[in-house]
């Protein structure tokens, strides 16, 4: 084996990664371009809004309420080390709306939606339904990807907003019932502390994460391999790629929004 | 007329089509036979533009199919897929009327539904099937729905990809008879790919045999039994011995 073999392997892996990024970027470009040109499939869009937005509410809500509660306990216990227990409402609020609401909401939607989109479109590909769409003069990207990506981009910020509110309520419930906070003071402190940009930045993150989730689901579904194994692999890849991209993009957006 | 000249297509190192040349005159029913994995489906997909050929030319009425306006080009085609390829999130009538509910020739929902039910009747299905989902149908019924969808917009050219695969002999006979009737009635150009010899005899005006990436033989359906071509004779009699390797 040549001494250069590991270097060659690294080079191949790097080229493979760059090629994959290029394919995803090209696919994203196609989706965005079709988003601006008719025909628009309103029925498919509304169906996607229900599937992605409405039916994700329970899982996002449950995640948010428990996260808000746990956050309150952690901040109270950590804050007690330097007599800062009273910051609980402030940190719960800012933590939820700036970071945990969008990131956990995005990850839960990635788990639920990216997998289901990839499995659905992957199965359509394997059973030749996508070829059938083409023969029926219907562009699969326009018909399958655009409604889902548009719906996720618009509904995930709403889910994030609902998740933020539920998370703050979770922190409030724990703080009032277990940590002895006064209810009115807690709520007043939360309202006084939060700024408009804290909320807006979280909603922007939600829109970006929604775009990523649906894009990854559609991309991996449309590039799915053959058979059940191919669809399974596409589903797994969609969730992993969406989750990693959400976390990486979150870091970049946080840097962009909150450091000058 | 559809004309293919030296069409080639490889997948990785596997050269599936190695120079296919074939003419399909308008109004004729051509059946392409050949073993599994010989590229019959790839050939159909190359004509439709679902798979891009590596080389060669494909023309429809003298126009290169890669240079024509896609929507107008595809509007001339109907296709019955091997597994039906019905959209399982839609009701049967919505599948059949898919093209009628969208695009330039869009019809109202009521008109499209009426047309779908008429086409379902044409393939021997009753109107009560219209509101079912594809998963609620048997394999034979799904093929019929696929056939109804293929003919719904009354295309000039219809492709049938393994129309009888997975069906019992009686249902296969019903589908073969339906295809023959519909193609004759509509005056459509038809290309069927199959390795089912009963389909060949029921559907074909002309037969082409695809083997090793090229058209090995062409002739009328009547010449099938009399041709001395050893590839055709081995294939139609299903012999293990002959020029076609049994293990591929």
Mean pLDDT of B196-219: 92
- A2 domain-assigned: no
Kindly state the greatest CA–CA separation across chain B.
57
The answer to whether B103 contacts A129, with C-beta atoms less than 8 Å apart, is: no
Q: Do A135 and B82 touch (CB under 8 A)?
A: no
pLDDT of residue B35: 86
What is residue A130's predicted lDDT score, i.e. its pLDDT?
95
Give the pLDDT confidence score for residue B23 in this predicted structure.
93
Chain B contact for A132 (CB, 8 A cutoff): yes
Q: Looking at residue A159, what is its pLDDT?
A: 97
- Alpha-carbon distance B66 to B5, whole Å? 14
pLDDT at B179 over 70: yes
Asked if residue A220 has pLDDT above 60, the reply is: yes
Q: Is B83 on the interface with A (CB under 8 A)?
A: yes
The domain tally of chain B equals 1
The residue-averaged pLDDT of B13-33 equals 92
Per-residue pLDDT of A47-63, as tens digits, reads: 999 999 999 999 999 99
* Three-class DSSP category at B190: strand
Average pLDDT, chain B: 90
Mean pLDDT to the nearest integer, B24-44: 91
pLDDT at A8 over 60: yes
CB of B164 closer than 8 Å to CB of B195? no
Q: How far is A43 from chain B (nearest CA, A)?
A: 12
Work out the average pLDDT over A205-227: 96
Predicted pLDDT at B166: 80
Q: Is the pLDDT of residue B216 over 80?
A: yes
Q: B160 at the A interface (CB within 8 A)?
A: no
| pLDDT, position A84 | 84
Q: Does residue A30 form part of some domain?
A: no
State the CATH number of the domain containing residue B193.
3.40.50.300
Beta bridge partners of B32: B193, B208
Number of domains in chain A: 1
- Asked if residue B244 is part of any domain, the answer here is no
**How much is the pLDDT for A1?**
61
Q: pLDDT (tens digit, 9 = 90+) per residue, A153-209? A: 999 999 999 999 999 999 999 999 999 999 999 999 999 999 999 999 999 999 999
Looking at the DSSP assignment, which residues form a beta bridge with residue B2? B24, B60
Mean pLDDT of B193-217: 92
The answer to whether residue A137 neighbours chain B at the CB level (below 8 Å) is: yes
pLDDT at A225 over 60: yes
Mean pLDDT of chain A: 94
Residue of B nearest to A131 (CA): B50
Q: What percent of chain B has pLDDT over 70?
A: 99
Whether B76 contacts B87, CB under 8 Å: no
Interchain pair A135, B98: CB under 8 A:
no
pLDDT at position B247 over 60: no
Q: What is the pLDDT of residue B172?
A: 85
Write the CB contacts of B78 (distance below 8 Å, at least 6 apart in sequence): A135, B149, B150, B151, B152, B153, B155, B157, B158, B159
CB atoms within 10 A of CB A159: 28
A108 located within any domain: yes
Instruction: Tell me B222's DSSP state.
Output: G
- Tell whether the model's pLDDT for residue B248 goes beyond 60: no
Chain B contact present for A131, CB below 8 A: yes
ipTM above 0.85, yes or no: yes
- Say what the pLDDT of residue B160 is: 93
Query: Both ends of chain B: CA-CA distance in Å?
Result: 33
**Domain limits for position A76:** 40-258
Q: Quick check: B50 and A127 CB within 8 A?
A: no
pLDDT in tens, B4-15: 999 999 998 899
With beta carbons under 8 A apart, name residues in chain B contacting A135.
Answer: 48, 50, 74, 77-79
Domain holding B33, by residue range, is 2-237
In a domain, A19, yes or no: no
Give the per-residue pLDDT at B246: 65
pLDDT digits (tens, 9 = 90+) for B97-153: 999 888 777 889 999 999 999 999 988 899 999 999 999 999 889 988 999 999 998
Measured in angstroms, the CA of B36 and the nearest CA of chain A are apart by: 17
Q: Which residues of A touch B81 (CB under 8 A)?
A: 128, 131-132
As a whole number of angstroms, the distance between CA B204 and CA B220 comes to 8
Q: CB B85 to CB A131 under 8 A?
A: yes
Quick check: A259 pLDDT over 90?
A: no
Residue with tokens 């993150």: A205
Q: Is B188 within the bounds of a domain?
A: yes
Inform me whether the C-beta atom of residue A138 falls under 8 Å from chain B C-beta atoms: yes
């Amino acid at each position: 084996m040549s001494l250069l073999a590991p270097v060659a392997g690294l080079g191949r892996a790097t080229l493979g990664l760059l090629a994959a990024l290029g394919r995803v970027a090209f696919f994203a470009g196609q989706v965005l371009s079709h988003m601006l040109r008719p025909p628009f499939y309103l029925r498919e869009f509304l169906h996607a809004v229900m599937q992605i937005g409405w039916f994700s509410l329970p899982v996002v809500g449950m995640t948010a309420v428990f996260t808000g509660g746990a956050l309150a306990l952690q901040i109270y216990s950590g804050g007690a080390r330097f007599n800062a227990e009273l910051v609980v409402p402030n940190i719960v609020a800012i933590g939820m709306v700036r970071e945990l609401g969008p990131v956990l909401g995005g990850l839960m939607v990635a788990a639920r939606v990216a997998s289901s989109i990839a499995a659905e479109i992957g199965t359509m590909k394997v059973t030749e339904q996508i070829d059938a769409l083409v023969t029926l003069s219907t562009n699969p990207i326009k018909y399958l990807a655009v409604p889902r990506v548009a719906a996720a981009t618009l509904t995930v910020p709403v889910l994030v907003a609902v998740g933020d509110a539920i998370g703050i309520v979770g922190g409030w419930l724990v703080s009032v019932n277990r940590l002895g906070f006064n209810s009115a003071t807690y709520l007043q402190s939360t309202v006084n502390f939060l700024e408009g940009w804290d909320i807006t930045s979280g909603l922007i993150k939600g829109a970006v994460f929604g775009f990523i989730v649906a894009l990854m689901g559609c991309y991996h579904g449309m590039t799915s391999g053959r058979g059940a194994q191919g669809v399974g692999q596409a589903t797994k890849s969609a969730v992993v790629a969406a989750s990693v991209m959400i976390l990486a993009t979150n870091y970049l957006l946080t840097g962009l929004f909150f450091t000058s | 007329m559809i004309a293919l000249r030296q069409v080639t297509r490889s997948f990785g190192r596997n050269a599936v089509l190695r120079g296919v040349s074939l003419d399909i005159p308008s109004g004729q029913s051509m059946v392409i036979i050949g073993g599994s994995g010989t590229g019959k489906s790839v050939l159909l997909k190359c004509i439709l533009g679902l798979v891009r050929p590596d080389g060669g030319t494909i023309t429809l009425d003298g126009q290169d199919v890669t240079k024509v306006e896609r929507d107008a080009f595809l509007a001339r085609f109907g296709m019955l897929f091997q597994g039906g390829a019905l959209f399982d999130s839609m009701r049967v009538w919505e599948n059949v009327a898919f093209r009628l509910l969208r695009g330039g020739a869009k019809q109202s929902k009521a008109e499209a539904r009426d047309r779908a039910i008429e086409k379902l009747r044409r393939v021997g299905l009753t109107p009560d099937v219209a509101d079912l989902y594809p998963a609620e149908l048997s394999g034979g019924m799904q093929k019929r729905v696929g056939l109804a969808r293929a003919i719904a917009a009354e295309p000039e050219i219809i492709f049938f990809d393994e129309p009888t695969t997975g069906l019992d002999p009686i249902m296969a006979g019903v589908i073969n008879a339906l295809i023959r009737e519909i193609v004759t009635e509509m005056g459509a150009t038809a290309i069927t790919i199959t390795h089912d010899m009963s389909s060949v005899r029921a559907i074909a005006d002309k037969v082409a045999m695809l083997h090793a990436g090229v058209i090995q033989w062409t002739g009328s359906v009547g010449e099938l039994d009399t041709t001395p071509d050893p590839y055709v004779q081995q294939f139609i009699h299903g012999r293990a011995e002959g020029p076609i390797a049994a293990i591929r």
